[in-house]
């Protein structure tokens, strides 16, 4: 269970794109703690140098400030790499509704650049971040791979295109690609600031300073919130999964759901706060409910998420209390 007992050959080298971002920096931290060699790249459009600062002097870590939209850069960083863990992308459904072209540039062109560079460099396997947003307007619960609806945002479209590229690169070019459809990932290093910040860090950061958070809609919408260490497990296990998993995409979640009001109440209780939230408009492009069927990931990736929502939330809040209370701004 978890990723602590997952082992690779001595000298294995990983490339993590989006290495200074929320998910990427947590993966970098886990790999370096296990003693592996890691190369990271980030252009700091959303990543934060603070997330990887402590690793910059580690001889096993090589960091490149660069942009995956530049193919020459992609070729350089894929050289002598065994596994690519591709996390670099622009997130946020609402932002993509306002700026579709930058999502095309970053999420589609950037990912295609990385797959081609990985193919040229004979990378063993290419693991990439997809998203639960590819399920679009499908009303069916739980969400099952192969039962997708109409896409609802440019962000979702970019992730679906990534999956099609992953299948093509596996089938045509022999680059073993596996997509991971993340469901509402949360945890340490997640940015609580900005108009498009994820709900859990936003709630925590505002409650810590006694502000009233805004809940979009009626608060009854539900999500399969997934603690970051479960995502790390999925990435590492995907590297070692049987070939049958390649060319496919898998739900990466816990397999349970919480509605936003319950999440707000749990955070308030853990922080000892009694603050009434503000209710705002529904977010454009959002779906009402989401929960994942993780049986395919369990069967083909040996994915068995260790952290349930409550355990992950407790760990997350402890991290924010240490890092947000006047110590750092993320």
As annotated, the active-site residues are: 155
Are 106 and 130 within 8 A, CB to CB?
A: no
Structure tokens at 317: 């809040």
* Angle at CA of residue 305, ends 270 and 303, nearest 5°: 165
| Nearest residue to 121 via CA among 73, 171, 57 | 73
Q: How many residues does the chain have?
A: 330
Burial 23-40 (b: 16+ CB within 10 A, else e): bbbbbbbbbbebebbbbb
How far is Cα 189 from Cα 210, in angstroms, rounded to an integer?
A: 21
Tell whether omega for the bond before 142 is within 30 degrees of 0, i.e. cis. Answer: yes
* CA–centroid distance for 322 within its chain: 23
Q: Is 114 left (phi over 0), alpha (psi -120 to 50) or beta?
A: alpha
Q: Which residues pair with 131 in a beta bridge?
A: 182
How far is Cα 95 from Cα 101, in angstroms, rounded to an integer?
A: 11
CA dihedral for 196, 70, 80, 130, sign (positive or negative): positive
């Amino acid at each position: 269970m978890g990723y602590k007992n997952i082992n690779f050959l001595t000298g294995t080298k990983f490339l993590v794109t989006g290495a200074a971002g929320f998910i990427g920096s947590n993966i970098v931290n886990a790999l370096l703690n296990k003693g592996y060699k890691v190369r990271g790249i980030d252009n700091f459009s959303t990543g934060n140098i603070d997330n990887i600062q402590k690793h910059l002097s580690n001889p096993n870590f090589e960091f490149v400030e660069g942009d995956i939209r530049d193919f020459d850069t992609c070729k350089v960083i894929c050289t002598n790499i065994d596994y690519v863990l591709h996390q670099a992308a622009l997130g946020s459904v609402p932002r993509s509704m306002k700026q579709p072209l930058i999502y095309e540039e970053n999420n589609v062109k950037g990912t295609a650049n990385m797959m081609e560079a990985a193919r040229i460099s004979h990378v063993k396997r290419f693991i990439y971040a997809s998203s639960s947003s590819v399920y679009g307007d499908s009303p069916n619960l739980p969400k099952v791979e192969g039962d997708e609806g109409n896409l609802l945002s440019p962000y979702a479209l970019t992730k679906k295109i990534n999956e099609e590229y992953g299948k093509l690169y596996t089938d045509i070019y022999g680059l073993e690609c596996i997509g991971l459809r993340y469901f509402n990932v949360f945890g340490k290093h997640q940015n609580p600031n900005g108009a498009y910040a994820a709900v859990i860090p936003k709630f925590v950061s505002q409650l810590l300073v006694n502000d009233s958070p805004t809940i979009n809609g009626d608060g009854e919408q539900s999500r399969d919130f997934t603690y970051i260490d479960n995502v790390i497990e999925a990435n590492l296990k995907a590297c070692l999964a049987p070939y049958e998993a390649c060319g496919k995409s898998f739900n990466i979640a816990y397999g349970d759901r919480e509605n936003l009001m319950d999440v707000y109440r749990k955070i308030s209780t853990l922080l000892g706060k009694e603050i009434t939230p503000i209710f705002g408009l529904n977010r454009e492009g959002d779906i009402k409910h989401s929960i994942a069927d993780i049986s395919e990931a369990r069967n083909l990736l040996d994915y068995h998420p260790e952290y349930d929502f409550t355990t992950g939330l407790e760990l997350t809040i402890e991290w924010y209390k240490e890092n947000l209370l006047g110590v750092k701004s993320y």
